[in-house]
Structure 1
Amino acid sequence: MFADFDPLDLKPGQMLSDWRIVRRIGRGGYAVVYEVEKNGQRFALKVACQTERSIDPKQTDARARREAACLQQLNHRYIIRMLGQGRWPDARSGFHYIVLDFVDGYTLARWVERTHPTPHEVVVLFLKLFDALENVHAKNVLHRDLSLRNIMVTKGGDPVIIDFGAADYATAEELTDGPLPPGTPRNRSPEAQSFWDENRLKHGARYAFKATDDIFALGANLYDVLTDPTPERTEERPVLNSMLLVPPTPLRKTKGRVPAELSAYAMKLIHRDLEVRPATAKDARRLLADLERYEGADWREIPIHPASSQLPPEPPEAEPLPVEARQPEGPQEPFPSHPLPVQVWPADAAPVPSPVQVASADAAPVPSAAARAPVQHSPRRARLRPVFLGALALSVFAAVLVASLLHTSAQPERPSVARSTPADQFPASSPLAEKPTSRPERLASPLAIQKEASPSVKLPDNSPTLTNGVPDPQQVQRVSARRAVIKKCTALVASVAWLEAGCTGVQTRPDPEPCPEGALKAMHELGWSVGYEFPGPGILLDVTKGTYEEAREQPDAVWKDGPVTGALIRAEGKAPAGMRVDGHLWTTGDRIYGRYVRAHLPGGRTAPICLELANSGELGTPLEEGSKPGAPVAVKVSGTAAVKRWR
């Protein structure tokens, strides 16, 4: 339903001021975009109004005025041109609109798919883009959302930077409510991502966006163009802005089809060290100009991506169809009906689809029937298992050896722990209560779960997250001590130092045990099918790792053992999308294992559950490329199973 949502509901043939509506092109965070006609010429008309993506409708008009102010300062052949602005239907209080050139072409991602560019063609295109970006920065304007969707390529082969809805200029008023300005999470610079990781929960924290952030974003686009034959259609792409993980080079990703010099240049643009990256767009353009002179078939004749990896040719273009008649392209995902409140994005956080797309350009995504399928993982991950299984086998051997050396008939006494007085057992200071993101929002769905606080409902005793709803000081101390040993031993896997450190067997996940009766009853009332043969709800493992939309852009994260608060990515039975679930992760084995034992229900109530990470019938979620001892990498979104017994 989202693809057809139009708050203005203007139909082809209707008039908006002096412009006749031809079709609706798309909609985004604060605007709806139409193709319009006047005096036989085509234009793009962007109307600021509250859409289904609007988070802060009060800022809608202010954002439209700021976009117009940015465009008024710019005049460059490779930047979208604003031709006029006004208000409709009332000249004083109506919707603010801007009129733009209509560019007949494709998004940058579609250009790659349709033209099969050579390295030289990519170099020429990005030289023009850096020339345009140099002009933008010279006017003290920052685009802040240079993405594959916000760069068009005309049918003549020239790029055009569009959509300045997230742009900013030197004297503009502050409109951003969160730590980071709106934009595409994948294209954030490493320094911006680090700021977000450290300040996402700090009220009033603001990142100072710089020209180098725009340069990184353009470098991220170059990386995707060089490494992916179907940019934006690929579900899993390497993280580009991590301070820990380095993505594979374009030379390696394409098995040598990207020349080494161009590959090195692309990696320089997205380098984590600011001193390595070009400081200005002019510097980036100058370095790239040296590559334009390269001759040879590998530069000017051989496409970067083989024909077998490209899409089949599209049929000849016909008359433009209404948006409602066009079919969505690529893998589709629904928008969560209850957005996750980790970060309150500004109204224009979701990129506005291009105001200059032709009829064949990307249509807005709509929910598909396949979206409810269990989370699947790429076969490439299976290749990683022997490596980690080998490390695990070695660690088990070391554990058995040290246990045989240190075994004695007398077991050491467990140090006594003085039980705190009731005043010291403050529930508000538990690991879950400390996190602002652990507090559930009030949800509208009325769901009655009886006896959710009954003392007869027993949550798993071995969960460090909960002990019948109240942290147990002895449990917390034991878990902290064990966690310290695990961290130390994990770092010493496959080394002689393992024995010297006195590391015994590290528990990679808790022992199997039955699910409490109260949890089974609660899951039944939620309408969940219980058992490993029934795929459970898809889950965002940890809400502090970002939103579901961000997880689609950057699917992987580095994990560690400990308490965690996740969220359902879509409605499941009577449980709404975004419902929070508390649990625990275990990350020291060959996979990431997780158990979620408490659900935050509508109205602020809680109920016990037994929800276990599982994918394609296999327990846990696999490790990804780049995993290291003590720093496992895995996806942020996983499948689950509602279970009668923990495996």
Structure 2
Amino acid sequence: MNELLPEALPAGTRLDTWEVDERAGYGTYGAVYRAHRVGQTEGPPVALKLARYPDDPRFNREAELLTRIRHPGVPRLLGRGTWTGGPGRATHPYLVMQWVEGLPLYDCAKKQPLTPRQMLRLLAQVARALEATHACRGLHRDLKGDNILVTPGGRAFLMDFGCGTWAGAPPLTEGVLAPGTRNYRSPQALRFPGHHRHAFAPRYRATPADDVYALGVTAYRLCTGVYPFLAGNDERGTLKGLVPPGRLTPLAPTLEALILRMLSDKPQDRGSAAELAAAMETMAATFDTEPDTSGAPPSEPVSLDRPAVLSEGTAPSISELHPGEVWPWAVLPLAIGFLVLLLGNLRVEELGSSPSTLQDGGTRGVADTAVEELPASVTRAPKPRGLSLDMPKEPLLGQRRPPCPPPEISIRGGCWVPMRGNPPCEEGAYAWKDACYYPVSSPQRPSTSDNP
């Protein structure tokens, strides 16, 4: 046993009072195992996350944060300890958490198209989990679709607090930005390195507004099937030209306003997690009269026929969603006025999310942190002429290249999403052969929370 690697423990390996069933996956910093308490094979399984590196302080910080959060949408911390082994007989910390059986959010929507009511309820549950995190002065710092699991009963769990922190916690990384996933970083985080390149040891300090922005990116992708592409991006993270989600897929105006609020350039305009959760719950109630074609009971947001079962070395993959499969056209005039007033004024200029069609990574149960990656460099976007942009002869800076998954198509060496309507195109779109298109950004390399 002493020669075993922490990411390769066989079934039957014991760590104190816990016994390994199988490996669920691993990332840069930890391996996650499905396990059970010794002698209790009939009981519910647990997620055991074992550090790959000796005495990794990330595990203590994650455990301390989880002990502060009390919410049904956040996995419970059940125990912690150390395992001594490996070639150097070093001490590796581990955490034991509630096992969550389910599918990642985007996979759930792909498996069974969700109604607006179901989507809003799931997003509201995530917002409530964020509310509880922020209430204890904590931050998640890596909220994304793959860190949200939907159970067979339709409950959304916010997973992977490996990037999380709380007020007063000592920093563990020396970089400008804490580990995270670039697609979901706020404008302030993306611009910070460029604005402080000459400062001595600069460090960006995330706030609850950063988590809210990541929730907005998640909602945008859930609705449209793609990440928000922002034209005019450069290496410093200065991004402009957010494409409203309603231009890519039919969307209720109130829902679009909510998403744009979360993606506002100004942190104070995004609202708190509690305010957004209340707005989502109110909006979901206005959809209670819509036809529900999913077959799910009215009391449940979604029901999965067969939940994902994790096996060694595998992880669910994320497929691009077809916009028409996600959101039916739904407009409720009586609710629009009330909810627009509730959402307040929106500012969407100069948003700073890094676009991508990256497939999010992560292990089930508990996942590891991700690291910052730089975008690919290709040719820059041409200058717009009025509201229309000419189709470039080469891919844009950071644009995805073929093969292009549906609903994207390949044009002149780049991937594009067709939009409704004909030229003259709306601002940020490109005209080509009597149609309008939005570019899709280049996928980043998988994050360190990806499974092998």
Q: Per-residue deviation at 1:329?
A: 3.9
TM-score computed with the length of structure 1 as normaliser: 0.47
Q: Per-residue deviation at 1:35?
A: 0.3
Q: Is 1:43 matched up with 2:53? A: no
> Structure 1 residues 273, 237: closer, same or farther in 2, change over 3 A?
closer
Report Cα offsets for 1:279-321 as digits up to 9, x if no partner: x212222322331221466x45267xxxxxxxxxx99679x57
> 2: CA distance between counterparts of 1:201 and 1:351?
33
Confirm or deny: 8 A CA contact 1:104 1:356 kept in the other structure.
no
Q: Per-residue deviation at 1:29?
A: 2.7
TM-score computed with the length of structure 2 as normaliser: 0.66
Q: Is 1:591 matched up with 2:419? A: no
Q: Is 1:353 matched up with 2:363? A: yes
Structure 1 portions without partners, runs of 5+: 51-57, 229-233, 304-313, 333-349, 358-545, 562-587, 595-613, 639-647
Q: Is 1:63 matched up with 2:67? A: no
Q: Is 1:265 matched up with 2:258? A: yes
Equivalent in the alignment of 1:283 = 275
Confirm or deny: 8 A CA contact 2:140 2:161 kept in the other structure.
yes
> 1: CA distance between counterparts of 2:280 and 2:375?
32
Q: Per-residue deviation at 1:179?
A: 1.2
Q: Per-residue deviation at 1:182?
A: 0.8
Confirm or deny: 8 A CA contact 1:593 1:621 kept in the other structure.
yes
Picking from 267, 270, 274, the partner of 1:274 is 267
Equivalent in the alignment of 2:98 = 101
**Deviating more after overlay: 17-26 vs 210-219:** 17-26
Q: Is 1:77 matched up with 2:72? A: yes
Picking from 244, 247, 256, the partner of 1:249 is 244
SS in structure 2 opposite 1:47? strand
Report Cα offsets for 1:465-511 as digits up to 9, x if no partner: xxxxxxxxxxxxxxxxxxxxxxxxxxxxxxxxxxxxxxxxxxxxxxx
SS in structure 1 opposite 2:179? coil
Equivalent in the alignment of 1:24 = 23
> Structure 1 residues 557, 43: closer, same or farther in 2, change over 3 A?
farther
Equivalent in the alignment of 2:406 = none
Report Cα offsets for 1:507-552 as digits up to 9, x if no partner: xxxxxxxxxxxxxxxxxxxxxxxxxxxxxxxxxxxxxxx97x4538
SS in structure 2 opposite 1:87? strand
Q: Mapping of 1:331-410 within 5 angstroms? A: 352-355=362-365
> Structure 1 residues 261, 620: closer, same or farther in 2, change over 3 A?
closer
> 1: CA distance between counterparts of 2:374 and 2:141?
16
Confirm or deny: 8 A CA contact 1:127 1:285 kept in the other structure.
yes
> Structure 1 residues 215, 6: closer, same or farther in 2, change over 3 A?
farther
SS in structure 2 opposite 1:226? helix
Confirm or deny: 8 A CA contact 1:24 1:323 kept in the other structure.
yes
Q: Per-residue deviation at 1:140?
A: 0.7
Q: Is 1:222 matched up with 2:46? A: no
SS in structure 1 opposite 2:71? coil
* Amino acid aligned to 2:279: L
**Which structure ranks higher in relative contact order (CA pairs < 8 Å, sequence separation ≥ 6)?**
2
* Amino acid aligned to 1:323: E
Equivalent in the alignment of 2:357 = none
> 2: CA distance between counterparts of 1:75 and 1:327?
28
Picking from 141, 149, 152, the partner of 1:152 is 149
Q: Mapping of 1:281-320 within 5 angstroms? A: 281-295=273-287, 299=290, 301=292
* Amino acid aligned to 1:151: I
SS in structure 1 opposite 2:145? coil
Give the paired residue count. 349
> Structure 1 residues 259, 202: closer, same or farther in 2, change over 3 A?
same
SS in structure 2 opposite 1:89? strand
Confirm or deny: 8 A CA contact 2:62 2:164 kept in the other structure.
yes
SS in structure 2 opposite 1:290? helix
Q: Per-residue deviation at 1:95?
A: 0.8
Confirm or deny: 8 A CA contact 2:116 2:287 kept in the other structure.
no
Equivalent in the alignment of 1:551 = 375
Q: Per-residue deviation at 1:131?
A: 1.5
Q: Is 1:323 matched up with 2:312? A: yes
Q: Per-residue deviation at 1:33?
A: 0.5
Confirm or deny: 8 A CA contact 1:26 1:354 kept in the other structure.
yes
Report Cα offsets for 1:409-448 as digits up to 9, x if no partner: xxxxxxxxxxxxxxxxxxxxxxxxxxxxxxxxxxxxxxxx
Confirm or deny: 8 A CA contact 1:82 1:98 kept in the other structure.
yes
More helix by share: 1
Picking from 115, 124, 128, the partner of 2:112 is 115
Confirm or deny: 8 A CA contact 1:105 1:154 kept in the other structure.
yes
Q: Per-residue deviation at 1:589?
A: 9.5
Picking from 227, 231, 238, the partner of 2:229 is 238
SS in structure 1 opposite 2:163? coil
> 2: CA distance between counterparts of 1:209 and 1:293?
33
* Amino acid aligned to 1:277: R
> 2: CA distance between counterparts of 1:634 and 1:355?
31
SS in structure 1 opposite 2:269? coil
> Structure 1 residues 556, 62: closer, same or farther in 2, change over 3 A?
farther
Identity of aligned residues (%): 27
SS in structure 2 opposite 1:214? helix
Equivalent in the alignment of 1:420 = none
Q: Per-residue deviation at 1:25?
A: 0.7
Picking from 147, 159, 173, the partner of 1:162 is 159
> Structure 1 residues 237, 210: closer, same or farther in 2, change over 3 A?
closer
* Amino acid aligned to 1:245: K
Confirm or deny: 8 A CA contact 1:121 1:300 kept in the other structure.
no
Report Cα offsets for 1:239-269 as digits up to 9, x if no partner: 4997543333332222x2x322112111111
Confirm or deny: 8 A CA contact 2:144 2:214 kept in the other structure.
yes
SS in structure 1 opposite 2:143? coil
Confirm or deny: 8 A CA contact 1:87 1:93 kept in the other structure.
no
Q: Mapping of 1:389-538 within 5 angstroms? A: none
Report Cα offsets for 1:116-150 as digits up to 9, x if no partner: 21101111122222122111111011110111111
Structure 2 portions without partners, runs of 5+: 295-303, 321-359, 384-389, 404-409, 418-427, 431-437, 445-452
SS in structure 2 opposite 1:283? helix
Confirm or deny: 8 A CA contact 2:106 2:222 kept in the other structure.
yes
* Amino acid aligned to 1:293: A
Confirm or deny: 8 A CA contact 2:6 2:50 kept in the other structure.
no
Confirm or deny: 8 A CA contact 1:239 1:247 kept in the other structure.
yes
Picking from 168, 171, 174, the partner of 1:171 is 168
SS in structure 2 opposite 1:23? strand
Confirm or deny: 8 A CA contact 2:84 2:91 kept in the other structure.
yes
Query: CA RMSD for the aligned pairs?
Result: 4.2
SS in structure 2 opposite 1:20? strand
Confirm or deny: 8 A CA contact 2:264 2:270 kept in the other structure.
yes
> Structure 1 residues 252, 173: closer, same or farther in 2, change over 3 A?
same
SS in structure 2 opposite 1:145? coil
